[in-house]
Structure 1
């Protein structure tokens, strides 16, 4: 398997932050390129995300990747996959840590094998402490969570219920004396219970990527999108949007513009990176 290589604990190519943890893997199997200088931050959460979880994961991962951070996650369905996708959209680097072998036939989940290939093609990497051909087990996923936390200067949990593997990653981060960040949820939210619990226990409550950048000592870059010159119609639609999802029909009503004009303009704004379509004709401002 010519595209798979190994890095042992004594190698200068071994990730320095991972080497610092109490139980680093003695050998890493790698496909792609590990960042030489980029700061890594883990973004993790539930496999059964809500639309809110989708929105905040995309917003944070995209913003952090644009600021130069490498996004680390586990390639799982739900929040993990969304974090990788958002980093790729931002043309940033991302690392997927697997609980399986990293050969094509054993990348898990199988539905994310194409995502794994895009991560590698974009200059990122997929890694595992397990050899090619290894079939994932109930024990390999919790074990790989320590690697996700160990690679990263901090861990962000965007959405997690009471029992979630994402909380295991956060607890590892605490054990390794790394930062833990959590996105707040409604107190009635079962799928957000884990995030609220982390905040109650001392994790930093964050509401934007800038909160994390300040906390880890990185000055936010000036966003070139702020300098974008909008037409009168684009501005009318853009100014109606917030971080709260708004249906296209509400935009048509608020702006009194023709439906086709609103739909076309939203597409242009989305291509500019200014708005995000959440599905179901719902749009938000992409901060």
Structure 2
């Protein structure tokens, strides 16, 4: 790689090289890092007699994709590479079986770690459906929640428009590279999102166009990053229901707006409600379900006000080391370089505040905290 292209650290560059191995599931890299105990840089540069599969993984690396990504990152100050170990990388994504090793982000990267709600639905939505999506999105954003969707026509576009009007703003997750807007009709909307302080996110390298299998991958990111998913108009067989099912599988909340029994685009919502999704008609029902007080959320976007004690706790290193699935106490202690006794004492305080819960085998971070 030409030295003039290097604007990131050696470990960030190593993550980028691993991500460029398009035919290798990211879990294989993560497993290798866990077994070897190496940094990403060392994993790629050191010989590994005990891990012969590493050479096979390394053979799949595509340097041209790496160079393309670096050129893209350097081409605009709004372009950012967020690697798996970055503080800007959403912890919630790490619950996925094979999470993205690198995210390509345009715009406000801090939104990735904000509290998010997904709003998704039909591309061929009714005018009423689009109005509902935009109004829900606006109210949720006014409460400090970031509205996340997939930049598609219909419900997605309406959700983004509402979200960027509030303090929580909006995130558009793409099924293409960050430089390839799909559908092309939404180029203007993408620009508006960035200008309004929102963010564009993709796991696909620059130059990558739309493929049918990209969109289920995009949907898993939307479902994983968000505390819950709201469905507004969807047919029974649709990508929207895939997103909702992914959210449910990840333990996230699923919400659905009811509608006419004679409308084909409300059948998916009614089916979700029958399966246990929460029927909602107001944003308050969503906020109450995810257990985040609106006034607390607004504090996230008011930098000159005094931060609440709960918010301060929610952003510190110890709490960040507790995952949304079971994390053993010795793992938490190791991540923070403290004794098990000290970790347990601190976690007890967090448990009393409702930020974590003690479970058999360790602790879990509570959703919405």
What TM-score, normalized to structure 1? 0.74
Distance in structure 2 (CA, Å) of the matches to 1:11 and 1:178: 23
Distance in structure 2 (CA, Å) of the matches to 1:40 and 1:200: 25
Q: Which of 116, 135, 139 is the equivalent residue of 2:190? A: 116
Q: Does 1:19 align with 2:94?
A: yes
Post-superposition offset of 1:33 = 1.3
Q: Which of 136, 140, 143 is the equivalent residue of 1:67? A: 143
Quick check: 74-83 or 4-13, which moved more? 4-13
Distance in structure 1 (CA, Å) of the matches to 2:218 and 2:83: 16
Post-superposition CA distance 1:166-197 (Å, at most 9, x none): 11110110111100000011222211110000
Q: Does 1:126 align with 2:200?
A: yes
What TM-score, normalized to structure 2? 0.58
Correspondence for 1:100: 176
Distance in structure 1 (CA, Å) of the matches to 2:114 and 2:144: 7
Correspondence for 2:159: 83
- Report which of the two structures shows the higher radius of gyration computed on alpha carbons: 2
Count of aligned pairs:
220
Distance in structure 1 (CA, Å) of the matches to 2:98 and 2:268: 25
Q: Which of 203, 214, 221 is the equivalent residue of 2:288? A: 214
Corresponding residue SS for 1:207 = coil
Quick check: 1-10 or 127-136, which moved more? 1-10
Q: Which of 151, 160, 179 is the equivalent residue of 2:234? A: 160
Unpaired stretches in structure 2, ≥5 consecutive residues = 1-71, 296-369
| Structure with more contact order per residue of length (Cα contacts < 8 Å, sep ≥ 6) | 1
Distance in structure 2 (CA, Å) of the matches to 1:46 and 1:82: 11
Correspondence for 1:146: 220
Structure number with the higher helix fraction is 2
Alpha-carbon RMSD across the aligned residues, in angstroms, is: 1.5
Corresponding residue SS for 1:192 = helix
Structure number with the higher strand fraction is 1
**Does the 8 Å contact 2:171/2:199 carry over to 1?**
yes
